[in-house]
A and B are shown apart, each in its own frame.
Chain A
Amino acid sequence: MSAVLTIDNLYKRFPIAGSKQVVQAINGISLTVEPGETLGLVGESGSGKTTVGRCIVGLIEPTAGTIRFRGTDLAQRQQHKAKLAGKIQLVFQEPNESLDPRMKIGDTISEPLLPLKLDRETRRRRTADALRLVRLNPDLLDAYPSELSSGQQQRVGIARAMVTEPELVVLDEPTSALDPTARAEIIDLLRRIQSERNTAYLFISHDLSTVRFISHRVAVMYLGMIVEQGSAETVFNRPQHPYSSGLLSSVMLPHPHLKIESSVSLKGEIPSPINLPNGCFLASRCPFVIDRCRHEMPPAETVGERHTVHCFRHDDVAASVPASDTFNVFMKEAERILGRAVPSGVAPSLQ
């Protein structure tokens, strides 16, 4: 099998201290990521996105299910330590919180190389390469994180992840703390690195516009389940799960006339993952709900190539609004508004 990452029926439960209750954070998810592919993982807070990322990098142990990296079961991470070293990396959301404030940038970037037992010269070369890769000025090697802008700090976070030449990088909301310009630069950077190194990304984000742009495929999470998964274009243009559709309708593009049409208006909030309902988890918020949804969990149905959805009424959901590629329409509009614009002559105020 050629996939970099294969997750099969993953569960994660967190016991609540002093109680018999458990938080059911991940409830049976399966996914694959191919080399050079970006899988966008979207959903609201509490949907379990970050927990999935942490299971993959080994920060937490899954309760059940398997995670395979290039066929190696990560439950036996320790036995395959040498083979796996540096192959899976993580980039955090808050660059200023994930960098050690007392460590120089150069040391921060080269630190992940220490367990790889490379000679000093190779370490230095790899660090310099990583710095070039993220287009940071070599003068910054001796700087401390506080001397950098948040965009530069996130470049350091990415350089630190890339220095071990990983095959898979889990990016957990890497741009949500950044200003629009810095965010756009980081996204460009990630795409360029991917095309140069064929790195696979699991891109965790609630910013659907960025996900649409950077991802080849997208998985929509709700209460620890992937309710829909498919190519970014298919899922975004014609969602078949009511939750995907509702989530998309709340995207606000910076254009006063462009909105994503949806027949789903999500009311209320994501329920507690402690007492999960029987049947479909969305039933209490879903306008397409039928009696069956309340006591039977809809199984994963394959509705297209690598496209699965957990909904009894996915045909009705898909048919409820015409398919539209609003993101592409927006990009064409941006091209028209910002591309054709020409500087004018001298303004009246100067004459």
Chain B
Amino acid sequence: MSLGAAEVISNTRNASAGGDKPPLIDIRNLRVTFPSGGAEPKAVLKGIDLAVQPGEIVGLVGESGAGKTTLARSILGLPPSPGRIAGGEVHFEGRQILSLSESELRRLRGRRLSVVVPNPRAELNPLLKVGDQIASMAKIHLGVAGKEARRMALEILREVQIPDPERRMDAYPHELSGGMAQRVVIAMALICSPAFVISDDATSGLDVTVQAQILALLAKLAAEHGSAMLFISRDVGITAHFCDRIAVLFSGEIVEIAPREPLFLEPAHPYTLMLLAAFSHSPKLRDSWTVPDTDRRRERSAGCQYADRCPIAQPVCRTLRPPLAEIGPGHFVRCYFPVRHA
């Protein structure tokens, strides 16, 4: 499977990364907390700033517990329970999403903003034919009549390259393979041509050859519909080939964000280097970016969240929280001592 199409699309798009145009979606200082046993709630997102340009695919990587899914859901005003949005703004098409009423939000979600999640079977109603489920999205959000909605559903099923789409319209979810169910969920997310799509690890459960087909499809549809995407993944390798820019999330903070070439060829945050070293198959490289025997789940109350795990931390790192600073064009890093490459 070649990602040729995606490559071409993203090359024309790179110039816009962090450019002068107004962003499609602008997340400012988004903070989410979860109640903890103590008096202070636990901060899960600690001030996320992220702007995505029209047509751009931004990758979001990080390990479990970093806050990836919390971010995906909070952008839509739906932090995972019992989380609470503690502050910040999400600007989208001239509106501040987080201040909208529940009914205004409902009208926006699914129509202008969509999320594709893993585990497609949990998203589909087992008692309804997939064609009706897809068509109902168009009926609810676009107000089209039943016949037109079914025509649109068939067309989007064709676009997501489901084999034999006429027959699949009348299939129930259990009759579909995992790859096909995932395509149905993607079709539901895209039928209203949303401007912004969040893919929350939506391809990780698929086999590699199916995954490659779905990624090429997402890139193609994004380009054709002019939509932008936040592509959240556990698989760092995919983002190197599929995304224009990549943000690295650690402990509820973006610690590095850059266009894909500087991010992978000149990574600057010690956490990014540690993460990439995990894929190098070299214990020596991994050791050089790891502090042995640190508790990975421990939170710091002051300074850099990564200070205890960082092999190059200095005293200042334990007292002052570093800001996100630009070290190259569009390349930002939250570190006082970013790694430089010769």
Contact = CB atoms under 8 A, between A and B. Distances in A.
Interface of A: 44-45, 149-150, 179-181, 183-184, 187-188, 206, 208-209, 213, 246-247, 249-256, 259, 265-270, 331, 334-335, 337-350
B209 A339 contact: no
20 contacts: A44-B209, A45-B178, A179-B64, A184-B283, A246-B1, A246-B209, A250-B208, A250-B209, A252-B241, A252-B242, A254-B279, A259-B241, A268-B163, A331-B280, A334-B281, A337-B276, A341-B273, A342-B340, A347-B322, A350-B316
Contacts of A183: 278
A250 B339 CA distance: 31
Nearest to A285: B209
Nearest to A258: B240
A252 B261 contact: no
A339 B288 contact: yes
A346 B237 CA distance: 31
Given A337-B264, A347-B325, 8 more contacts: A184-B278, A250-B1, A254-B264, A266-B1, A331-B280, A334-B282, A334-B285, A342-B339
A266 B340 CA distance: 40
Given A44-B208, A250-B211, A252-B235, A337 B341 contact: yes
Contact of B234 (A44, A179, A208, A345): A179
B302 interface: no
A335 B278 CA distance: 12
A181 B276 CA distance: 9
A342 B234 CA distance: 27
B254 to A, nearest CB: 15
B152 interface: no
B336 A347 contact: yes
Contacts of B280: 331, 334-335, 338
B143 interface: no
A254 B240 contact: yes
Contacts, number: 157
Interface in B300-342: 312, 316, 322-323, 325, 327, 335-342
Contacts of A268: 163
Contacts of B242: 252
B283 A337 contact: no
B104 interface: no
A256 B276 contact: no
B1 A254 contact: no
Q: Which of A45, A150, A340 has the most CB of B within 10 A?
A: A45
B49 interface: no
Interface string B105-131: 000000000000000000000000000
Counting from the closest, the 10 A-B pairs by CB-CB distance are A334-B280, A180-B278, A44-B207, A252-B237, A250-B208, A349-B325, A344-B340, A179-B63, A250-B212, A266-B209
A338 B285 contact: yes
A250 B240 CA distance: 13
A259 to B, nearest CB: 7
Contacts of B231: none
Nearest to A337: B265
Contacts of A344: 337-340
A349 B278 contact: no
A44 B208 CA distance: 7
Interface string B155-181: 000000001000000000000011110
B338 A253 contact: no
A254 to B, nearest CB: 4
Contacts of A249: 1-2, 212
B296 interface: yes
Contacts of A348: 325
Nearest to B320: A350
Contact of B339 (A251, A267, A343): A343
Contacts of A270: 207
B84 to A, nearest CB: 25
A73 B276 CA distance: 45
A171 B202 CA distance: 26
A269 B207 CA distance: 9
B213 interface: yes
Contact of A180 (B2, B63, B238): B63
B236 interface: yes
B210 interface: yes
B281 A213 contact: yes
Contacts of A256: 240-241, 260-261, 264-265
B222 to A, nearest CB: 18
B277 interface: yes
A147 to B, nearest CB: 11
B141 interface: no
B286 interface: yes
A336 to B, nearest CB: 9
B267 interface: yes
Contact of B207 (A45, A181, A253, A337): A45
A201 to B, nearest CB: 16
A340 B98 CA distance: 44
